[in-house]
Structure 1
């Protein structure tokens, strides 16, 4: 087990476990060990645990394991027990480049979204097995303080995509304008959440999340109204696979005219996102305010990358990829 020098949640310096602030945000004030009592390979082979995984991910494709906190320890939840956390170890797929660093990548990308850009996210961190394997942990925002589950639907459901009618790749079908249209129809305070959605699309492009599909955006009911759920599953996928600019096969929009840069290179630039913003109903000043935030690499991003749990090579690659995306974004269209 490597020595912990930074908070495994907020990446604050000088912490050998979760910081006081992280304890409050991630664990509701409970002091929790960052070391798991079980080994990843052991619980993967346990049939009861596999059943537990399927309760979180119906398809069983994603490795998401339900968990709770008990007596200062993170443990897997029992069959009839309401989980309040989700654990995501490194994927089983050995064809993925540097697969064991995927939990640290997701953790870092989520923290950058929140700490650098003010994006509302699911509280998260890392925990570790005794042999040093990092496991991503995230707090379930769909579980209220009294343990009841809040109604929540991902946008595959909201826009009506499913495997029966749209094939096995249904979650990649459509465009981001489809999500925006559905958001406007289903959220009374749609303008506020439309800005949040717009910034998420830009963030995912700049930080190379090529898996931002329909199921990675959701609506959640708060009181009597539905709102855009906090961001989750943010990941720099280019570190592990050759990913596209966008997960959805329709890109930003099926009808918005592409810039000459986009037509020539196959990659969008700032004006393409401006046009997308207008198309989904945002005003010019708000579009500009959001886009301006992504014109350069913030020092705070560099700081978080340097203090993350990625290895040194992956840290360099992470920053290189983001710098390349920013350079694409800043290109001038004729």
Structure 2
């Protein structure tokens, strides 16, 4: 695999850059003048036995939630290095599993995260594309769980908050809830609950529109703020899973709320619609004016999202498939 030609910033997708733009350097590496390369000085896992052993050693000593293989990177001046100590970044190579368009998984997560951040104004973890020395792609994200003094913020995902574990409920424990259940936890633990409920509702609409079938309990978290209270953490692991697998309407087995499949428009169309989300907003205590504004903005932002998909590092075939999936989800959301 050869090194890719870079026409857009590998983080922000801003045109006219052949490496990270100054705004991307600030968000992703902490300073606009950093000269961190978009090409790593080493190869991907499995390239050779020596490199594979090093990856395996590093993987043993880090603990980051999620099923996909992840490795810890330390930013030392202007260079990123694999580390078994406290890392500054997380590296996610192309996974070894067999799924459709698997080579595009890093670019999928990257563009979905950028759409969320730039277009939908969802607070997300800083992220970008990065490439191994043989040109193969990976996804990189900056850790947000460390304070400036080196101590960690307290973070709890919603599976933990609900007391759900694999030992108690089996392998699918993180899917055993509804999005209304998450909202109840936000109301219980967050002092400024209404603000975070608005942010949560926006994320749920986004995940539905962008066909993220992996928006489970461990992919939502509460995080300690600098003031000591709790807020939703920056969003992470946003990806159009439908680009790789044929999954359902929503990630959580309980749907938006208990009995959402009995709602009139769901009965008529067999999918979640505008009306389903408006009823969900009502059930979690969100004023209809806020909910309508969020849904309207989502619908009206699809064209801008398509432009960003066109600038992404996805293959041509995956770009077209992604836009096809997005148009189908938009059609569903506009139903009443």
Deviations 1:99-121 (A, max 9, x none): 11100000000000011110100
Change in CA separation of 1:46 and 1:200 when aligned onto 2, cut-off 3 Å: same
Which residue of structure 2 aligns with residue 204 of structure 1?
207
Give distance in 1, aligned partners of 2:333 and 2:260.
17
Which residue of structure 1 aligns with residue 161 of structure 2?
158
Whether contact under 8 Å (2:119, 2:301) holds in the other structure is no
Whether contact under 8 Å (2:38, 2:130) holds in the other structure is yes
When normalised by structure 1's length, the TM-score is 0.94
Give the stretch that moved more between structures: 34-43 or 176-185: 34-43
Change in CA separation of 1:242 and 1:131 when aligned onto 2, cut-off 3 Å: same
2:130 pairs with 1:127: yes
Which residue of structure 1 aligns with residue 330 of structure 2?
326
State the Cα RMSD in Å.
1.7
5 Å-filtered alignment, 1:11-30, equals 11-29=13-31, 30=34
1:311 to 304, 315, 318: 315
Whether contact under 8 Å (2:189, 2:230) holds in the other structure is yes
2:88 to 73, 84, 87: 84
5 Å-filtered alignment, 1:56-75, equals 56-57=62-63, 61-75=67-81
Aligned length in residues: 329
Which residue of structure 2 aligns with residue 104 of structure 1?
107
Give distance in 1, aligned partners of 2:197 and 2:48.
40
Give distance in 2, aligned partners of 1:326 and 1:284.
20
Deviations 1:243-289 (A, max 9, x none): 11111111101145743331233211001000001101111111111
> Aligned-pair distance for 1:160?
1.1
Structure 2 gaps of 5+ residues are: none
Which residue of structure 1 aligns with residue 270 of structure 2?
266
When normalised by structure 2's length, the TM-score is 0.93
Q: Secondary structure at the match of 2:329?
A: helix
Which residue of structure 2 aligns with residue 34 of structure 1?
38
Which residue of structure 1 aligns with residue 189 of structure 2?
186
Whether contact under 8 Å (1:113, 1:119) holds in the other structure is yes
Change in CA separation of 1:261 and 1:111 when aligned onto 2, cut-off 3 Å: same
Give distance in 1, aligned partners of 2:122 and 2:48.
34
> Aligned-pair distance for 1:60?
7.9
Structure 1 gaps of 5+ residues are: none
Deviations 1:91-139 (A, max 9, x none): 110x211111100000000000011110100000011012211110001
Give distance in 2, aligned partners of 1:154 and 1:54.
22
Change in CA separation of 1:219 and 1:267 when aligned onto 2, cut-off 3 Å: same
